[in-house]
Amino acid sequence: MTEIPKNNQEPKTDSMKITVTKNGPYIVTGNVPLQQEEICNDKEGNCHTWRKVKQFPEQEMYALCRCGHSQNKPFCDGTHVKIHFNGEETAGNESYLLHPRVISGPELELDDFENLCVHARFCMRAGGIWNLTKASDVPKAKSTAIEESCHCPSGRLVIRDKKTGKIIEPELEKSIALIEYPPRGEHGPIWVRGSIPVTSEEGKPYIVRNRVTLCRCGKSGNKPFCDGSHIQS
């Protein structure tokens, strides 16, 4: 793939998009910033925050490996052809986004889209986001529940202010991050941030969300999205 030299112009965010190719890579266009981020533990060993560890050079277009076998990760090197990678998209119409499990507390309401879980584990600290939501009339529990929800990369966990009905979402720059979790040696999904559109190989747009995680190990049963299968690698 030919790289296009970096220029001094700000990227046009409305041109940013990700296209899934048939049994091949994700084609990213529009000068989407690419970086690597690590999940960091607190003193008790709980997933607590994010740390940026690498920023890749800017490119107008690049191809990200989807089969998990490229020798030039995170970029595609054509290995998917040699191994006859089956990248069939199985996410369908994403009907699971219409029927979340709802946990209601005194001040917060939690929508839990379990199919989107990528096992980032931010939700397990301080008794778990589900218990914290139920105790959201306690200021510390409320703030921790909101923090855990906002750290969830896939958007599985979405918090709503019960009084106003307003969804509390993190402000995320349009960008892509490769998730790593060094304590367990896990290479996580591709984290798409800031409502960048993702289009299927057939040209069908997936539902645009602020937080999306795409499979990069090739093993997900919900392609192109991550379903946590990388933790079994």
pLDDT tens for residues 82-100? 999 999 999 988 988 999 9
CA dihedral 179, 181, 184, 187 (to 10 degrees): 20
Q: What is the pLDDT of residue 138?
A: 98
* Separation CA 41–CA 59 (nearest Å): 32
Lookup: tokens for 80 = 């998917």
pLDDT at 75: 98
Would strands 17-20 and 198-199 be described as parallel, antiparallel, or unpaired? parallel
Mean pLDDT in the chain?
93
Encoded tokens for 17: 């998009």
3-15, pLDDT tens digit by residue? 333 444 555 678 9
Average pLDDT over residues 138-142: 98
Lowest mean pLDDT among 3-12, 14-23, 99-108, 122-131: 3-12
**pLDDT, mean of residues 191-218:** 97
What is residue 20's predicted lDDT score, i.e. its pLDDT? 98
In the predicted structure, residue 146 carries a pLDDT above the cut 80: yes
- The backbone torsions φ and ψ at residue 211, rounded to the nearest 5 degrees and listed phi first, read -130, 125
Domain ranges of the chain: 17-92+173-232, 106-168
Q: What is the DSSP string of the chain?
A: -PPPPP-SSPP-GGG-EEEE-TTS-EEEES---EEEEEEEE-TTS-EEEEEEEEEPPP-SEEEE-SSS--TTTTB--SHHHHTT-------TT-GGGGS-EEEE-SSEEEEE-GGG-----GGGGGG-HHHHHHTTTSHHHHHHHHHHHHH-TTS-EEEEETTT--EE-----SEEEEEEEGGGTEEEEEEEESS--EE-TTSPBPPP-SEEEE-SSS--SBTTB--SGGGG-
Q: Mean of the pLDDT values across residues 54-76? A: 97
- Binned at pLDDT 50, 70 and 90, residue 233 comes out as low
